[in-house]
A and B are shown apart, each in its own frame.
Chain A
Amino acid sequence: MRAAPGASFWAGLAVVAAVLWASVSSDMAPGRLLSSGGRIADFLDRMLPPDLSVMPEIWKGTAETLRIAILGTAGAVIASIPLGLMASDTLAPGWLSRPVRFILALIRAIPLILVAMLMVGAVGLGPLPGVIAVAFHATGMLAKFYAEAIDGVARPPVEALESAGAGTLLRLRYAIWPQMAPVVARDTIFRFELNLRESLILGIVGAGGIGFYIQTYVRSFQYDKAATVTIAVAVMVVAIEGLNAFLRRRLS
């Protein structure tokens, strides 16, 4: 006798149904992709060779993106220290930590690009709205990570300092901080990497950085210049990842 269909059968069916629904309803005729082969070839042809004359703009845009990521991360760290303390289950009472955690979840739910668009509307074009957007968006994650780092420390040393008569401030300084510092450093570097990646596209909505040039060149059909910017972005992302991996090894 055959067994009744199990959970994995239904899960598989659900995945197939989801893919079918998505492809049928989004006008995904494969023929369209094949027939546009000529246009794609033409598009690639216009990208090659990449126009290296835009290197000065790339340096300028990269530097601005870097500045946005650095200042945005710094802002997020400053905001996340008090918020992280307030969101901690072990340091803050439940009536405080639960609402703070909820607000942080809300902040995380708003995409960076949306925050940036709102900030451009509020403070005008340029890197400032980018910095504010990155700081705001990153705080949602970083404060949660900091709170988890506080809650993740071993309790016995904290209890030992309490037994010796150390107050909350000194327990935080000498029992909790030494234990959470490597976690905080790792999380902050990780968030900086994300900030840099995410701020690459902020220029598309006018919030500063290298994204502005991608936007400008694509809109004006200067694909060879856009190609150079794309390569520069890719190189930068790989470099950041390498740097991050190096720093993480040093911290472990």
Chain B
Amino acid sequence: MTVALRLSEITHRHGAGDRASLDGVSLEVAPGETVALLGSSGAGKTTLLALIDGRLHGWRGTANVLGRALLPDRIQPGSERAEVGFIFQEFALVDRATVRQNVLNGRLGRTNTLRAFFGQFSAADMVAAERAMADTGIADLASRRADSLSGGQRQRVAIARCLAQEPRLILADEPVSNLDPTRASDILGLITGAAQARGATVLFSSHQPDLARRFASRILGMRNGCIKFDSPADRLDANMIEDLYREELADPRTALRLVV
């Protein structure tokens, strides 16, 4: 496999007559790369990630994820979906379930359906879940209910669920948008570190250029559904950022968020 991801001329509209949320996006990502998607809200980052995760319908173009063609009208089998892990912005945990069960939920695409229905997970499932909980520092919370945790702990559960899936490609939608700078770099360090240890490719979206530069090797800038620039992280310069956030920078209130 030479590429983890190859998209070509992807176009998508949320509704007929809407502005294109993805407008001719083409992209190649090599295995093991860590790529950041920069762009303001509405730039198309979430839509692009949902597409790669196989949850978007009604798009046009060609998409190849981990060597398999993604088709807009075909639902992929569980084992194929399990290869791509997704860390949701709002964590999407099952509140009344324990931390361990939430993490084991990441195994549901890999394990036997009938056995899992009756709560029987395989030894491999348990090992993957325990390892994911240890790596994210939540092993001692395993028996707690998800709704009894703090926001930071919940996010770690969401990351652990994704890691338990043993994905070869990890997608993260704004994983640090609501965190203070220290927590933000902790979480991004955790995701990219765990991915590297597992040899997984990472694609995360953010609107914090400094964090993107620190944790990604390559940065894509999105605006109005198009990829505006595609740059190695160390070549990212102020003009690119300015171009990407033109409207936000014109407004002092949003500009402040970009500076700090």
A residues sitting closer than 8 Å to B (CB atoms) are: 154, 156-157, 159-167, 169-170, 173-175, 178-179, 181-182
Contact = CB atoms under 8 A, between A and B. Distances in A.
Contacts of B204: none
A174 B97 contact: yes
Contacts of A161: 105, 108
Interface stretch (B2-10, B58-66, B73-81, B136-144): B73-81
B255 to A, nearest CB: 31
A152 to B, nearest CB: 14
A236 to B, nearest CB: 33
Given A170-B108, A174-B108, A164 B95 contact: no
Contacts of B81: 162-165
9 contacts: A161-B108, A165-B80, A165-B82, A165-B110, A166-B108, A166-B109, A169-B113, A174-B94, A178-B96
Interface stretch (B84-92, B193-201, B231-239): B84-92
Contacts of A160: 86, 88, 92-93, 105, 161
Of A160, A163, A170, A175, most buried by chain B (CB within 10 Å of CB) is A163
A156 B158 CA distance: 12
Interface in B99-114: 101, 105-110, 113
A157 B94 contact: yes
Contact of B78 (A157, A165, A175, A182): A165
B207 to A, nearest CB: 21
A160 B93 CA distance: 8
Given A163-B86, A164-B161, A179-B95, A170 B55 contact: no
A170 B117 contact: yes
B192 interface: no
Given A159-B92, A164-B105, A164-B109, A173 B117 contact: yes
B104 to A, nearest CB: 8
Of B88, B105, B106, most buried by chain A (CB within 10 Å of CB) is B105
A119 B42 CA distance: 61
A154 B110 CA distance: 24
B206 interface: no
Contact of B105 (A169, A175, A179): A175
A99 B77 CA distance: 31
B97 A178 contact: yes
A174 B78 contact: no
Given A175-B105, A178-B97, A179-B95, 20 more contacts: A156-B92, A157-B94, A159-B88, A160-B93, A160-B105, A160-B161, A162-B55, A163-B53, A163-B55, A164-B81, A164-B107, A164-B161, A165-B82, A165-B108, A165-B110, A166-B78, A166-B105, A169-B113, A169-B117, A170-B117
B165 interface: yes
B125 to A, nearest CB: 12
